[in-house]
Every structure is written in C-alpha cells, then in structure tokens.
Amino acid sequence: MFKLDRKLIITASTAAAVALFTLGCGGSTGTTESKKASKISIDGGVSYPVVNDKTGPYYVNPQVAQDAPKIYNGRVPTANELKAWNKDIMPDGTGLPEGSGSVEDGEEIYDAKCVMCHGDFGSGGGGYPALSKGNAYDLQKTLTNNRWKDPDADGPTREFGSYWPQASTLFWYIKDGMPHPFSKSLSDDEVYALVAYVLNINEMEIDGVEVDDEYVLDREKFLKIKMPNRNGFEPNIDGPNALPGVRAYYANAKNFGAQNLNQGAVRCMKDCQKASVKTKRINGGITGFLPPMSDVRDLPAVKEVKVDPKEVYKNACAMCHDSYLAPGSDEWAGYVAEGMDTVYAKAIKGTQGGMPAKGGTSLSDANFKTVVDYITTGKVK
C-alpha cells in the first residue's frame, strides 16, 4: 500500500513530495529496495520514522485516509487517475487555472495554514524554508556578490523572490505540495491568494504595479509576473556581453555533462562503477553527525504574554490534531496515563511519531503547557 502511495505522490510532480521522498528513501520510485530504505523521512530539520507504512506527516493526513478506498487500495492507478494528480503548471500558462485571490485573503490563509512552519511574514526557521527575506529586486543583486573580491559583501540570498526564475513554480508548488501535511487541499482561489501574499512580502510588482495590501491577483495578471532572476540561470548567448564561442560550445553535446566525452569517457546509466573500484573509508566511515540535526525553531524570541490556548490550538495545532488526538478526545487516555510531566516534556521536545517540537510554535514552556492542558482535556483551566 505504501509503495503505491509513494508512486502516486511522485508522479504528481510535487516538488516538495519528491524532495521529501528523495531524502527519505534514496530517490527510488517504489521498488522493493525502497521498502528497505524507507525507515525515515525528513521534513525540514525533523526526521520522522515510518509508521504503518506512512511517514509522520502523511500518517496524519486525513486526505490520504479519505482517499484510501478510492486510490490507495493497493492497485495500480489508472491512467486517468494519474492524469488527475499530475497537473503541471508551466511558465507559458499551460495548466494555470482561472481564478483570483487577494493579498488580504492570502495573509489570512497564511496565518492559519502556513505560519507554523514558514514563520511570520515567511521568515522561515528551524529547517523550514523562508518564503521572503525582503525586497526581491534588491536581494537578487546579492546573487552575484563576490565575497572573495569583496569580503564585506552580503552572501547570496536564495529564496523565491530573489532566486526563482519563474513564478509558475510557486503556484504549482503550493497547489501540489502545501500545506505540507495536507497537500492538494487548497482551492485555486486560495492558491492565487497565497501567491499574491508571497509576492507582497517579497515587495514585488506586476506590470509596474506594486503588489500592495489591496492587490487582487488573477490569471491574467499572474502571467505578467517577471521574476527578478529570470535570466539568471542560462547564459545569454546572443547579447553583446556573451562569452565568445559560447554558442558553439553549447551546440556540441560532447562538451558538457558529467563526463568529458572528448577525452574518451563513455556515458553510462547502469552498473557504471567498475567492480575493481573499492571505496576506502577512514575508520569505517562517518557514522554519527555532530551536532545532530536540530528540530528546535530559531525564530527570534518575543516578549511573552499569556496566550489563549483555544486560539493557539486553532492556528498551530488544529491542522494536525483535528483528525488525530483532537482536544479532549478519548485517544488521549494512553498518553495522559504516562503522567502529564512526560506529556509536556515529549510535546516540548517533539516526538519521532510526528509531533514537531512545541508543535512548531515558539511559545515559552509555560504558555505551551496551557495549550497542552487544553488539547488533552478539551477544557481551558
């Protein structure tokens, strides 16, 4: 059953899911060797073990459970089912649906469904990628900073606004892969709103118009987005500043690729390692990494006021806990039996079963415990 899950998710071209499973199972697409290697999957800085053949985040994905009888029941998906999953959204507008959404709505959805991982205003942290670091046009210029020549220059900032060449990837990524444990759950209008919000926090403009707080994005406007780094990936082979001979260089396929074919190398796709080659590992190889990957969020500390546990639950826990271990549900009995000190400690530190440290919040221990009290009992003390 898990094999099929993974195949479907990969075929859906979900950048997030592909990256997730590439890390988790060596990039295999669901063959027997992946079964062996699929003990752990990595999400941001947190690693999850596989539970009942599903990784932590997918384990709590009600969408998967809901779809189970239809497409996860152990048969090969039909061509049409795959087609329905595999919706490419291309820079020329192919696959981009009609719809619209405002920055204002986007911010609201972001605060409900994205902020717990991607941080306030997309600041990122704790292994989760930033969706903005500031003004995209200014930051794009940092990509060519040369700190060897100018040690005081800022290092290159690579995030959506400053680095990605195409906006279609953002739409596609959010539509297919986010929010992480609930991929494919957003409507087209919601995705337009979220894209508008991400453009807004990157201080971008479309067709000379600033994407300000009142902006409403639709398909037509979307297609006019010009990303600051759109020319940053391929060399300009025609312009006056083009490298001499670069066109001739690229015209000859032998000139590039992993091996230099001009020097007699042979391209190889299978069993390429010569049997005689032995890999030598010093002291048996590196076994443990130090320091271990952190699952602690590193957002700046904020001055704490007492929080409303119900409000925190709604914004930071409900997305996972509404379907599993909901406030006051009977499912809590087994956890609470271990004693509340253990429950607090585990929830603060995070668990291998899929609970992120403090649920991904940056609350103080005291505040966080009031939310744990609420979630375990369904009552606010």
CA dist list (Å): 37 to 24, 31, 82, 312: 8, 10, 25, 37
**201 makes contact with ligand HEC (CB under 6 A):** no
Give the integer Cα–Cα distance in Å for 62 and 318: 12
For residues 298 to 317, the per-residue mask of contacts with ligand HEC, x marking binding by CB under 6 A and - elsewhere, is --------------x---xx
Euclidean distance between CA atoms 183 and 191, whole angstroms = 12
Out of 113, 133, 175, 221, name the contact with ligand HEC by CB under 6 A: 113
Contact segment (CB under 6 A) with ligand HEC among 33-41, 247-255, 285-293, 348-356 equals 348-356
CA distance 276 to 294: 39
Q: Should residue 160 be labelled a site residue for ligand HEC when binding is judged by CB under 6 A?
A: yes
Q: Does 181 bind ligand HEC (CB under 6 A)?
A: yes
Tell me the C-alpha distance between 9 and 21, whole Å: 9
Nearest-angstrom CA–CA distance, 62 and 59: 8
Tell me if 348 contacts ligand HEC by CB under 6 A. no
Positive or negative, the CA dihedral 286, 45, 303, 325 is: negative
**Which residues between 119 and 148 bind ligand HEC (CB under 6 A)?**
128-129, 131
45 lies in the site for ligand HEC, by CB under 6 A: no
Among 8, 10, 117, 206, binds ligand HEC (CB under 6 A): 117
- Cα diameter, the chain: 75
Among 8, 116, 167, 196, binds ligand HEC (CB under 6 A): 116
Phi–psi pair at 41, nearest 5 degrees: -130, 145
Q: Which residues bind ligand HEC (CB under 6 A)?
A: 16, 19-20, 43-44, 56, 60, 113-114, 116-118, 128-129, 131, 159-160, 170, 173-174, 178-181, 194, 312, 316-317, 319-321, 325, 335, 343, 346-347, 351, 353-356, 359-361, 371-372, 375
